[in-house]
Structure 1
Amino acid sequence: MTALALLDYASVFVFALTGALVASRAQLDIVGFVFIACLTAVGGGTVRDIILDREVFWISNPSIIMVASAAAFVVFFTAHLLESRYRTILWIDALALAVAVPAGVAAAIAVGAVWPIVLIMGVATGCFGGLMRDVVCNEVPLVLKQGELYVTCAFVGAGAALALLYLGQPLSVALIGCAGATLVLRMGSLAFGWSLPVYKSRPPRV
């Protein structure tokens, strides 16, 4: 199994957990759990593969859908054991982001994409699945939530991978650096409130 395939499997499973947890907050049935888990798990990778003109990863490997569905069943029978499902979603989603961004970077590099496309594919793979999940479940999208870093984390992580490659590091080291930068920044935002300045409206000048 290739490194890209392993990243895809890991990203799918962890993102599927977050999708199923959001489904539990919406009190959906088991079919709804599976649908939201699969949508979250493959959304970002599907966008990535369509843009890169690759065969969509879960079509070439349908076992991906089985992994996402298994995660949905696990959450369906265990979500009630969690003290705070929302906090769990935040932290598991941070882990999922740190796996998905390197998967997007690796996929873009595999097709010989230039560095701006590699950067964009890392961000898209990390962010679009969660965005679809939250929009469909009528939740405030985490990627747009005020006062938290999210897209920025994906952007910095993908940039770290490119920087390491530029410095002559092997792809495996670059992907580990990507995951580490993404995870540290996202967890720092959750734990310590790290954020970027937000726009504040002002009265127009007369």
Structure 2
Amino acid sequence: MDQLLDGFDLIGIVVFAFSGVLAAGHKQMDLFGAVVLACVTATGGGTTRDIILNLPVFWLQDTYYLWIAATTGVLSFYLIRYLQVPMRLLMLADAIGLAVFVVIGTQKTLELGYSATIAIVMGVMTGTVGGVIRDLLCGDIPLLLRREIYATAALSGASVLVFLDASDKLAGDLIVAIAMLVTLSIRLAALRWNLSAPIARVGHR
């Protein structure tokens, strides 16, 4: 299980770093800005989780996470200079990163002995905070706060993992895969069919 999660963790770092560079590209940032966005997007959620849980911040313990994010940022910066990259690809990369980090955050919190509620909150936080920081630095309303089905996908995946883990009927690897698939499927379905949550309106009846 630990090896599986470590592998997914690296995938999440790369994908979220790539999404940060794509966002930088759409805002016409320079190389430094792109790498900064790559790193904060890839590490923001896990950093927040570790600080709240009073754990050593993961990339301070294992600096290769930061190097992978930065390297992905540099390579992606030059890649997108020569390719026409649609905004849809940013959404896809973000969806994959969301699914990976939600599951990792939830599972790690459970392994530390915290309750199901805390595990779900930490899972959602791990999956979304990096993207929130990315969007704020780009001057955009974070995806988490828009009408798109985003937080709902994260919450669903984390809840499925907690429920299946408590049932103790499936292997850990299978539980992780199912929870990741649920998160990704909900997010991709929302993108494909433009599904959205109700929005707040003032002065309308």
Structure-2-length-normalised TM-score = 0.92
In the TM superposition, residue 100 of structure 1 has moved relative to its aligned partner by 0.7
Q: Which residue of 2 aligns with 1:116?
A: 117
Deviates further, 14-23 or 71-80: 71-80
Listed as ranges, the matches of 1:73-152 within 5 Å are 73-146=74-147, 148-152=148-152
Amino acid corresponding to residue 29 of structure 1 in structure 2: D
Q: Which residue of 2 aligns with 1:62?
A: 63
On the 8 A contact 1:79/1:85 being kept in 2, the answer is no
Q: Which residue of 2 aligns with 1:166?
A: 166
In the TM superposition, residue 54 of structure 1 has moved relative to its aligned partner by 1.3
Cα deviation digits, residues 18-66 of structure 1 (max 9, x gap): 0111111222221211111001100000011111111111000000011
Cα deviation digits, residues 129-154 of structure 1 (max 9, x gap): 000001011123111222x1001100
Distance in 2 (CA, whole Å) between partners of 1:203 and 1:129 is 34
On the 8 A contact 1:101/1:125 being kept in 2, the answer is yes
Distance in 2 (CA, whole Å) between partners of 1:9 and 1:178 is 18
Question: Secondary structure, in 3 states, of the residue corresponding to 2:149?
Answer: coil
Question: Secondary structure, in 3 states, of the residue corresponding to 2:156?
Answer: helix
Distance in 2 (CA, whole Å) between partners of 1:106 and 1:75 is 30
Structure-1-length-normalised TM-score = 0.92
Deviates further, 184-193 or 75-84: 75-84
Q: Which residue of 2 aligns with 1:32?
A: 33
Count residues in correspondence: 203
Deviates further, 87-96 or 189-198: 189-198
Distance in 1 (CA, whole Å) between partners of 2:45 and 2:107 is 14
CA RMSD, aligned part only?
A: 1.6
On the 8 A contact 1:164/1:173 being kept in 2, the answer is no
Listed as ranges, the matches of 1:36-51 within 5 Å are 36-51=37-52
- After TM superposition, which residue ranges in structure 1, 4 or more long, deviate above 6 angstroms? none
Q: Which residue of 2 aligns with 1:175?
A: 176
On the 8 A contact 1:44/1:127 being kept in 2, the answer is yes
Cα deviation digits, residues 84-133 of structure 1 (max 9, x gap): 43211111111111111111012101211110001001100000000000
Amino acid corresponding to residue 161 of structure 2 in structure 1: A
In the TM superposition, residue 203 of structure 1 has moved relative to its aligned partner by 5.5
Residues 125 and 59 (structure 1 numbering): CA distance in 2 closer, same or farther, change over 3 Å? same
Amino acid corresponding to residue 164 of structure 1 in structure 2: L
Residues 115 and 160 (structure 1 numbering): CA distance in 2 closer, same or farther, change over 3 Å? same
Amino acid corresponding to residue 170 of structure 1 in structure 2: A
Question: Secondary structure, in 3 states, of the residue corresponding to 2:114?
Answer: coil
Amino acid corresponding to residue 60 of structure 1 in structure 2: Q
Distance in 2 (CA, whole Å) between partners of 1:45 and 1:72 is 18
